[in-house]
Amino acid sequence: MSIYRNAVWFMKGLQEYTKSGYEAAAKHFVPNDLDVNLTGRSFMVTGANSGIGKAAAQEIAARGGTVHMVCRNKGRAEAAKDEIVERSKNENVHVHIVDMSSAKQVWEFAQNFSQNNKIHVLINNAGCMVNQRELTDEGLEKNFATNTLGTYILTTALIPSLKQVEDPRVITVSSGGMLTQKLNVDDLQFERGAFDGTMAYAQNKRQQVVLTDKWAAQHKDIHFSSMHPGWADTPAVQSSMPSFHAKMQSKLRTEAMGADTVVWLAVSAAAIKQPSGLFFQDRKPVPTHLPLAWSRPSAQDEDQLLAALQELALKFKP
């Protein structure tokens, strides 16, 4: 990780990614952008049992949308569903138990879902930051399997269904941490050198931004976007980055603040007036590279990433 990129990113984060950064940005939000009735529209939210995913699902349900919560833990998912239904008074909230780190499970779920349900909006929110290198039962590094390959398979498998509805959208919750990383296609599963979970996570988030740009170019009839939620006080941050959480807790955004741009991208008319494929922060498109950071990948590297993901995905397709 470049020392320059890391330092510039952290200073940027203190100014923009914190609670005060959100409050400053929110002064310029259009107040009625989220005044929409979502009855009849179907939203899939991965990682929806806590944190930003749960907050986004709550806001969508409150506006009448049908919500499909894709979660790994049944007990937590059902408890989150009950809370969302109670608060929103919307019974159209459904739980699907899927381990996003299992390529085969993701394929099977997406194929079955497509046969029985409509989907208007996919929100790729599920993610993990495992700080010790760990392999899944399928032999894949866990961060990569969850954050990148799982997201790739789910999105790819649902694209045909998305193309059958009006105003289809895909939002991928990335991270500003990806600004510290240049795309590295030579070691996608971090098999070389000392393993760094934070770096692996940031690299996965860079991969998600590249995928969003590529999907937008390939599928013009779907609106794709990726976004940074800011530094939010979520269970994932508490468990994966305990020292960062302890030092920054008073400055961290609420889960609702972190979810705001996710919801805006998923439901507002203003969002789809923006070009497809962009990276957003606080309802505005922002650059995907820091100034003078030398982090831009070549077109060849981007194509190599897509080819590697396609090959891996097909390996696990039922």
Q: Indicate which residues carry an active-site annotation.
A: 201
Distance CA 77, CA 87 (A): 15
**94: exposed, middle or buried (C-beta count within 10 Å: 0-12, 13-18, 19+)?**
middle
Phi/psi at 20 (nearest 5 deg)?
A: -65, -35
CA atoms within 13 A on the CB side of 10: 8
Do the beta carbons of residue 286 and residue 280 sit within 8 Å?
yes
What gap in Å lies between CA 29 and CA 33, rounded to an integer?
8
Residue appearing with tokens 């940027």: 12
232 beta partners: 253
Structure tokens at 100: 């996003």
Q: How far is CA 307 from CA 18, 90, 240, 312, in A?
A: 36, 41, 30, 9
Taken as a whole, the chain contains a residue count of 318
- Collapsed DSSP state (helix, strand, coil) of residue 224: strand
